[in-house]
Amino acid sequence: MVNRKLVSDYLRQQYQLSMPDFIFDNNGSASVLKAFYQVSLKNSAQSCQEKKQYRRGLPKPQKPESITVQKEKQVSISSRLSALKPIDKLLPGISGKNLSSKPQVHLSTDLNYEQKRLALKELYIAGCDKCHLAQTRNKFIFGAGNADARIMIIGEAPGRDEDIQGLPFVGKAGQLLTSMLEAIKLDRNKDVFITNVLKCRPPGNRNPEAQEIITCFPLLERQIAIIQPKAILLLGRIAAHSVLGINDSIAMMRSKVHDFKGIPVMVIYHPAALLRNASLKRPAWEDLQKFQTLLNDSGIYGYSK
């Protein structure tokens, strides 16, 4: 059965974000859930009003027939909801193949360095204000590095330091990332382009929400299409789930080569996780070495095409 509290909390979030509920399928499930939510709110308001009248010594009003009809509708909606998968099973299954609400933009595969720089510049200038995070951010953190890089590194979302400076991975986790890249002979300014799934800092550095990822993902897809990397390194569970569209634990995803639209992808622990838990540093180093082997075996080292 569907967890009703989970459904209610999720839909409340969507109304707050002013976003459409298009995570669900296209056969009307979203509208059914909205109707269920609206009926629940109306019944809740009616119940509160009755309690207030009862406290004041007023006679408890009889429920009109319309309320009974609403209850019958609610039962019908509930029975239809029981056939749906729980929301917590649906959200993690988002895939990079269907996140974009617009047709995917296909760029020429032979863009030169200047063309890539120009395309990225135009994308940066256009910015993004499609969700509520644009109202709370200080800076739009687009990304940094070489437009002609053969390697892209993707994290989950900017933090406080990034929000202040407008650049990705400039805090303590960013400093550790720089050292990690240097350990496998990569210069973060020349050999890679670094960005995040989200381009704005979530308040309080909380985890990105599903709707925020869905809204922001087309921008990341566009960056990948422009840069045309030969390999991608994903930092952490949320980045891996967002890009690969799978819901495995990071322990299951690491040490393997995945695929994103023909591009080899590897997943490692996020540098911030390494700062919190020193026991993860050894497996992270092992994964970095495997990523280095992938680059060597594929002839990906270097940024000159």
Token output for 10:
């999720």
* pLDDT, tens only, 82-102: 333 333 343 333 333 333 333
pTM of the model: 0.67
Ordered strands of the 144-145 beta sheet? 144-145, 192-196, 151-155, 231-235, 263-268, 258-260
Q: Domain segments of the chain: what residues?
A: 4-92, 94-298
Q: Output the pLDDT for position 280.
A: 97
User: Could you read off the pLDDT of 2-56 as tens digits, one per residue?
Assistant: 555 555 555 555 444 444 333 333 343 444 444 444 544 555 555 555 555 545 5
Q: Which CATH architecture has domain 94-298?
A: 3-Layer(aba) Sandwich (3.40)
- Give the per-residue pLDDT at 110: 77
Task: pLDDT tens for the chain, 305 residues: list them.
Answer: 555 555 555 555 544 444 433 333 334 344 444 444 454 455 555 555 555 554 555 555 555 545 454 545 444 434 433 333 333 343 333 333 333 333 344 455 678 999 999 999 999 999 999 999 999 999 999 999 999 999 999 999 999 999 999 999 999 999 999 999 999 999 999 999 999 999 999 999 999 999 999 999 999 999 999 999 999 999 999 999 999 999 999 999 999 999 999 999 999 999 999 999 999 999 999 999 999 999 999 998 754 44
